[in-house]
Amino acid sequence: LDMMDRRMAYALVSLVLLVGYLRRIYMQGDIGATVLDMMDMGYTKQFGFQKRFANSTGPLAKVYFLDNLYNVKSDLPPLVLIHGFNMRAPQMATYFYPLFTHRNRRVIIIGLLGHENNYLPKFRIPTLNEMVSSCIDTIDYALTHHSTFDVIGVSLGGALTSYMFHKIPHRIRKAILIAPTSFELIDMDFTKYAFECLKTRRMGFHTIQTMRHYYKTVLGMHDNAMPPSFILRGIQKRCNNGIPKNYWTDFFKAVFVEARIGDENFRHILFSNPSAFKGYDVEIVLIVGERDKLTSFAKCRQFKEFTGNRVSMYVVKDSGHLGPQRVVTRLLIH
């Protein structure tokens, strides 16, 4: 096919998918939830994940993790991924796709509720820790046939991983912490970012870029075959309208209060008390962007110097907060 025929073919595929998608929206009557559900379905099917629910009750009854079953019998312990504040669990598959394409071990991605369809009335750090704990309790020997696991934590996921060191140090073999957030660093950059979220009532998975990323990565579309921007903007608006009015205000207020009063849950976060990590036999890899404004390069270096040979540190040049995710595949856990 020549270039013109190719473009026509992509445009036709885009139109067919868009018509089917709009029909589904019309039938379900919930455009916001449908967008996110459709993305989840595409991401999880692309990489062979099953959705499993953790053994939890009450408000956390919907806590889940995505289980990749390609290598159930692998001799290596499973790899657990914990996503960050600005990401959804299914999207982790696109950032770390080499982990799933070469399929040398079982991969499990913990999904943090709160920033998806299921908005929690009190979304706080203790709630997040409880979510992770309920998933880890479910990922036991009976499920994986391994008593230990390796973990990758991204941004906020890195902070939650460091909390796990204190709770279950005997189960973690090795941890890669990518730009781990330190809530002691609530400065002007973080505050500006927070108030931008409050003003626009949006986060990364509600943006047009994420929807384009879905079409391009999962469906294999070229940029010139994407649905029109006005369609994506309409979907984005409906997604954002589904967020409770005071959701972000309440969330950031809770984060600010916890960080400043020295909440017990923050004392176990990485960098807050490095002396507590000296006795743990966990190999830690820190990956930090050189220009990251939400992760302290200096504190990472101090942490490495204090804790000794069990900690390795890699600095990604000319990289901000999310940049290290793209190079972490060079340091895959073996």
Average pLDDT over all residues of the chain: 68
CA distance 133 to 65: 12
Whether the CB-CB separation of 269 and 132 falls below 8 Å is answered with: no
Q: Percent of the chain, pLDDT > 70?
A: 44
Q: Is the pLDDT of residue 205 over 50?
A: no
CA distance 290 to 297: 7
Q: How confident is the model at residue 292 (pLDDT cuts 50, 70, 90)?
A: confident
pLDDT for 20-31, tens place per residue?
555 554 444 444
Mean predicted confidence (pLDDT) in 229-237:
70
Q: How confident is the model at residue 68 (pLDDT cuts 50, 70, 90)?
A: confident
Q: pTM for this structure? A: 0.71
Q: Lay out the sheet containing 149-154: strands in order across.
A: 49-53, 64-68, 107-111, 79-82, 149-154, 172-178, 283-289, 311-316
Q: Is the pLDDT of residue 53 over 80?
A: yes
| Residue 26 pLDDT | 46
Measured over all CA atoms, what is the biggest interatomic distance in the chain, rounded to whole angstroms?
A: 65
| Residue 30 pLDDT | 45
Q: Is the pLDDT of residue 246 over 70?
A: no
Strand-pair category, 64-68 with 49-53: antiparallel
Q: How confident is the model at residue 63 (pLDDT cuts 50, 70, 90)?
A: confident
CATH 3.40.50.1820 fits 47-201+243-331, yes or no: yes
Boundaries of every domain in the chain: 47-201+243-331
Q: Is the pLDDT of residue 132 over 50?
A: yes
Considering only residues 16 and 173, tell me which one the structure prediction assigns the higher pLDDT: 173
Burial of 314 (0-12, 13-18, 19+ CB in 10 A): middle
